[in-house]
């Protein structure tokens, strides 16, 4: 974006709904927003928010409340966490005090991995999000969801969601169908002036994203909706151009690993020759002929190996200790030696049709919550080591194992201080449902900069 300051003097504030394990909440906080309220329905996720808050969400922490009409906390006090149905909350006490309302309404109604009932599904929480907008009147809204919203079967309803976010105060009556209400909204929107400044209206930007293009070591296709209150003179065109411009690319990754002593391999100098050549062969096959001059500012996609070795974000972390191949049949804690929790081996990893594993020298596959626990291929990784195998096309088969919770958290760009509550499957569910911190922080920073440029 053009001429927008990186830092703001006035502390900004946020409210987080559907907080889950805290990915978007951590992102918004790291972008300089002070949390005023959290909401999350799942018991284990609430435990995670409380356990991790002081290290990941600031020294003020998080405090459970049962009051359905909470008050904004004073500076230095913990942010209230309402551990119940968001539809029961009355957030009118926060009106005019919130810069950003953030949240990812449950995605199961629109996910390809679920039943996909869409707007008819009781888990569709977009109406609750619009109710919160009416009560809080935030300056901006950040909403993340699955790309399934763009499927042809949901296209009309997805447009309706954007129309409702544009006109949240045009409340739909219970007896009115969403189709009829959408026609009503479209009629109003078609008559709005280009320079609409009505404080009851919002200007909506829809951004399809692959998280890898924003620095996340994972292929994760999602939708991000950002809305600014219309009375705030945000340069929407500049904002839209900025957030739609990828910061990282696959081509840059392939070029960085083409040569044996390329930048990628200098970072990972201990990789076995066979594994290195496998990755370089893949890079040569994928690299297209240049069609235009490449932007030198575009950085290489980050890989799963980057994440495990501590290069998965701009902040270098200690490399995670290797998982000993002789102990793959044990639930052994490999993170103890460096004080990292949840780096625990898990036995029984399998590779089977339809569940291809992760490869270390590519971004991780999409981390999924899983309907029946953790899916097969999404949590299995091929290793550098292996054995001769005549049945394999190249005469070699790589060892494989389950990824640990901590490795998966790093693929989601969660800090090592994040403490997931519950057993392994529950922690993986929270990670699969979350927003990668680096992705969320990019959008939260962009929103903060846009507000600053607009004099807010």
- Catalytic residue positions, numbered: 107
Q: How far, in Å, CA of 364 to CA of 412, rounded?
A: 9
Q: Which residue has the tokens 């006109």?
A: 167
CB 367 within 8 A of CB 218: yes
Orientation of helix 437-453 relative to helix 236-243, angle to 10°: 160
Q: Which two tokens stand for residue 36?
A: 């005023």
Beta-carbon count within 10 A of 66 CB: 9
> What's the sign of the alpha-carbon dihedral 26, 28, 31, 35?
negative
Q: How far, in Å, CA of 415 to CA of 348, rounded?
A: 27
Total residues found in the chain within this entry: 456
Q: How far, in Å, CA of 456 to CA of 451, rounded?
A: 5
Q: Which two tokens stand for residue 284?
A: 């040569």
CB 415 within 8 A of CB 431: no
Q: Which two tokens stand for residue 269?
A: 């100098």
Of 165, 162, 139, 140, the residue nearest 208 (C-alpha): 162
Annotate 327-344 with b (16+ C-beta within 10 A) or e (fewer).
Answer: ebeeebebbeeeebbbbb
Q: How far is CA 383 from the centre of its chain?
A: 26
Q: Which two tokens stand for residue 278?
A: 């496998």
CB 227 within 8 A of CB 207: no
Q: How far is CA 375 from the centre of its chain?
A: 19
What does 66-87 look like in DSSP terms, one character per residue? --SS--PPPTTSPEEEE-S-GG
């Amino acid at each position: 974006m053009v001429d927008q300051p990186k830092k703001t003097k006035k502390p900004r504030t946020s409210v987080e709904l559907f907080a889950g394990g805290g990915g978007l909440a951590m992102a918004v906080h790291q972008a300089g927003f002070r949390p005023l309220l959290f909401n999350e329905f799942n018991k284990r996720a609430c435990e995670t928010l409380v356990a991790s808050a002081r290290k990941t969400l600031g020294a003020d922490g998080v405090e459970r409340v049962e009051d359905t009409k909470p008050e904004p906390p004073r500076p230095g006090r913990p942010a209230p966490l309402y551990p119940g149905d968001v539809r029961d909350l009355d957030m009118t006490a926060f009106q005019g005090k919130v810069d950003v309302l953030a949240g990812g309404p449950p995605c199961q109604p629109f996910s390809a991995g679920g039943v996909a009932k869409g707007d008819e599904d009781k888990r569709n929480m977009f109406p609750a999000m619009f109710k919160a907008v009416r009560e809080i009147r935030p300056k901006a809204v950040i909403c993340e969801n699955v790309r399934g919203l763009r499927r042809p079967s949901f296209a009309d309803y997805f447009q309706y969601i954007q129309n409702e976010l544009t006109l949240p105060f045009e409340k739909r009556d219970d007896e009115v169908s969403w189709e009829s209400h959408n026609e009503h909204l479209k009629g109003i929107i078609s008559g709005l002036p280009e320079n609409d400044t009505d404080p009851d209206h919002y200007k909506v930007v829809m951004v399809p994203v692959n998280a890898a293009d924003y620095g996340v070591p994972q292929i994760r296709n999602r939708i991000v909706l950002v809305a600014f209150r219309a009375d705030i003179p945000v340069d929407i065109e500049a904002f839209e151009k900025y957030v739609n411009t990828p910061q990282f690319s696959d081509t840059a990754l392939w070029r960085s690993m083409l040569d044996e002593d390329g930048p990628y391999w200098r970072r990972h100098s201990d990789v076995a020759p066979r594994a290195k050549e496998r990755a370089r062969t893949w890079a040569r096959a994928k690299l297209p002929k240049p069609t235009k001059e490449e932007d030198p500012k575009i950085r290489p996609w980050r890989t799963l190996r980057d994440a495990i070795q501590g290069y998965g974000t701009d902040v270098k972390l200690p490399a995670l200790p290797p998982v000993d191949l002789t102990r793959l049949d044990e639930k052994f804690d490999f993170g103890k030696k460096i004080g990292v929790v949840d780096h625990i081996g898990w036995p029984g990893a399998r590779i089977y049709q339809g569940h291809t594993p992760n490869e270390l020298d590519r971004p991780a596959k999409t981390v999924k919550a899983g309907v029946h626990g953790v899916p097969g291929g999404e949590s299995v990784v091929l290793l550098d080591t292996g054995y001769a195998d005549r049945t394999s096309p190249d005469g070699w088969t790589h060892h494989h194992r389950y990824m640990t919770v901590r490795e998966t958290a790093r693929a989601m760009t969660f800090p090592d201080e994040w403490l997931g509550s519950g057993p392994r499957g529950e922690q993986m569910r929270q990670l699969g449902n979350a927003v990668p911190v680096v992705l969320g922080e990019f959008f939260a920073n962009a929103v903060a900069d846009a507000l600053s440029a607009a004099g807010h």
